[in-house]
Amino acid sequence: MKRTVITGTGSFIPELVKKNRDFAVHDFFDENKKRIETDPTIVVEKFRQITGIAERRYAMPDLTASDIGYLAGLEAIRDSGINPEELGQLIVAHNFGDVIKYSNQTDILPALASRIKNKLAIKNPYCVAYDILFGCPGWVQGLIQADAFMKAQLAEKCLVIGTETLSRVLDVYDRDSMIFSDGAGAAVVEFIDVEGEQSAGILSTASLSHCEDETFYLYLGESNFPHSDPRLRYIKMKGRKIYEYALNHVPAAMKECLDKADVSIDEVKMVFLHQANEKMDEAIMRKLFKLYGKNELRKNIMPMNIHTLGNSSVATVPTLFDRVSRGEMDGYSLQQGDIVLFASVGAGMNISAICYRI
């Protein structure tokens, strides 16, 4: 039998650190363009208590999403040891394309996957390069697509990248802008002959899209600043709506994925959950455990790096997995045979999950 196996990972963590105190000098306005009279230092501290974020990373001005995606992809290729000319698919998840610093214009012509294939100097025309726009679950969904293409015998090796420079589309007058960050993560997956049901690889997947009222919980809108240029658009979100949606749907989707693999939560070593908001992620995990009749969340099942890296959208899951795989997070390690769960939720609204054995 054959399975889709992750054979290499890579990530790019930007060097520029943006601490919470850097936002304390801002004036914040609400969605009605009314100035928030609360002292900005209090606003920032309340934000930290809710999200867990103390600092985040921004890409240097000379780097774009395709640049940092290329660097993460190159690291994954080197880690896997494959010849990049053997790749059958190069899938890049993002939401805003390349946005040049000091301009918030989205650039996706050509696709980021085409740009990254060019940077990697891959000449093979049968390495099909394309982008996926799926909100924050984009990288997880890209992995699901790679798995499907390989099972259909349309590829044997794929590179899946998640890359984002959200710092380029932020409204500094909006409190929600503090949650977002930049970063890139990648994985090489190969369709490999394995022996027995206990072998490594993707065991099951699950994907959902709710596109009724949920469609515009994340969107592009005007700045909260009352005298802003109405022609410019910035990332906006309905935080309470997203929180409620996530709690109502993500735990069930995660359980569905585990059920497909005939795996219980007791067998899962770690859950690599989209680093969106510390309290929301913890609530999702508690509800997942309750679906199994358990009232206590198991210690060290959910690694988190949101405290120092913020929410880099499609990059959160692959960068987190890469760091844990390399032993770079204290208290977390993976061994052959461990079962993990990847899960993410985001704009659309979309949910993706993968049950995977190391």
The pLDDT-based confidence of 194 (bands split at 50, 70, 90) is: confident
Cα 250 to Cα 89: distance, rounded to the nearest angstrom: 28
Task: Identify the band that residue 102 occupies on the pLDDT scale cut at 50, 70 and 90.
Answer: confident
Half-sphere exposure of 347 (CA within 13 A, CB side): 19
Q: Which CATH number fits the domain that encloses residue 315? A: 3.40.47.10
Q: Could you write out the DSSP letters of every residue in 162-185?
A: EEEEGGGG--TTSGGGGGB-EEEE
Are residues 178 and 241 both part of a single domain?
Answer: no
Average pLDDT, the chain: 94
Across the strands, what pairs with 132?
93
CA distances from 195 to 149, 192, 267 (A): 21, 10, 20
Polymer length of the chain:
358
Per-residue confidence (pLDDT) for residue 101, from 0 to 100: 83
Do 17 and 137 fall within a single domain? yes
> Do residue 208 and residue 181 come from a single domain?
no
The verdict on 53 and 186 lying in the same domain is: yes
Residue 146 sits in the same domain as residue 207: no
Enumerate the H helices of the chain as residue ranges.
Answer: 40-51, 65-80, 112-119, 138-151, 239-260, 278-291, 306-309, 316-325
- Do residues 40 and 70 both lie within one domain? yes
Same domain for 153 and 52: yes
Window from 65-79, 191-205, 334-348 with minimum mean pLDDT: 191-205
Domain count, the chain: 2
SS3 98: strand
Single out the residue in 175, 193, 211 at which a domain terminates.
193
Of the candidates 159, 193, 227, which is a domain's last residue?
A: 193
pLDDT at 88 over 90: yes
User: What pLDDT sits at residue 144?
Assistant: 98
SS3 90: strand
Q: Are residues 59 and 134 in the same domain?
A: yes
The stretch 276-283 carries a mean pLDDT of 93
The whole-number pLDDT of residue 186 equals 98
Q: How far apart are CA 312 and CA 314, in angstroms?
A: 6
Distance from C-alpha of 306 to C-alpha of 323, rounded to nearest angstrom: 13
Query: Could you tell me the two tokens for 344?
Result: 């993410």
Summarize the confidence of residues 56-71 as an average pLDDT: 96
Question: Considering 193, 210, 243, which residue would you say is the last residue of a domain?
Answer: 193
Q: Assign residue 15 a region (left: φ > 0; alpha: ψ between -120 and 50; beta: otherwise).
A: alpha
* Contacts with 86 (C-beta within 8 Å, 6 or more apart), sequence order: 124, 156, 157
Pair (143, 290) in one structural domain? no
Edge to edge, what strands does the sheet with 182-193 contain?
2-12, 182-193, 157-165, 89-93, 128-132
Same domain for 230 and 189? no
Same domain membership, residue 317 and residue 215: yes
Between 187 and 101, the higher pLDDT residue: 187
Q: Which domain holds residue 213?
A: 201-357
Cβ partners under 8 Å of residue 84, min gap 6: 77, 120, 122, 127, 159
Which letter, b or e, does each residue of 308-336 get, where b requires 16 or more Cβ atoms within 10 Å of its Cβ? bbbbbbbbbbbbbbbbbbeeeeeebeeee
Pair (97, 71) in one structural domain: yes
